[in-house]
């Protein structure tokens, strides 16, 4: 997972992401303020970039 998780100011959810090189996959889990896994989405990528930065809005996540 990312070295820089972020906490949503509205919900208290912990947002993070992680990369896997085999196959190139981006994993985005969300954890509630109570510590429960809310969701975990995986997306296939053309390549992985081990950058630890990301940003989010209420409806979107942004990755470099």
- DSSP 8-state class, residue 35: S
Tokens describing residue 11: 């919900």
Using only C-alpha atoms, what is the Rg of the chain? Answer: 12
Give residues with Cβ within 8 angstroms of 55, minimum separation 6.
61, 62
Q: Specify the residue for token string 């109570």.
A: 34
Residue 9, token pair as written in the block: 């100011």
Q: What is the pLDDT of residues 3-55, one digit of tens each?
A: 678 898 889 999 888 888 778 888 888 899 999 999 888 888 877 666 677 77
Residue with more model confidence, 4 or 2: 4
């Amino acid at each position: 997972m990312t070295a820089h998780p972020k906490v949503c100011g509205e919900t208290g959810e912990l947002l993070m992401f992680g990369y896997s090189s085999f196959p190139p996959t981006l994993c985005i889990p969300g954890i509630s303020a109570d510590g429960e896994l809310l969701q975990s989405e995986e997306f296939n990528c053309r390549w992985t970039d081990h950058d630890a930065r990301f940003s989010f809005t209420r409806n979107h996540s942004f990755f470099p």
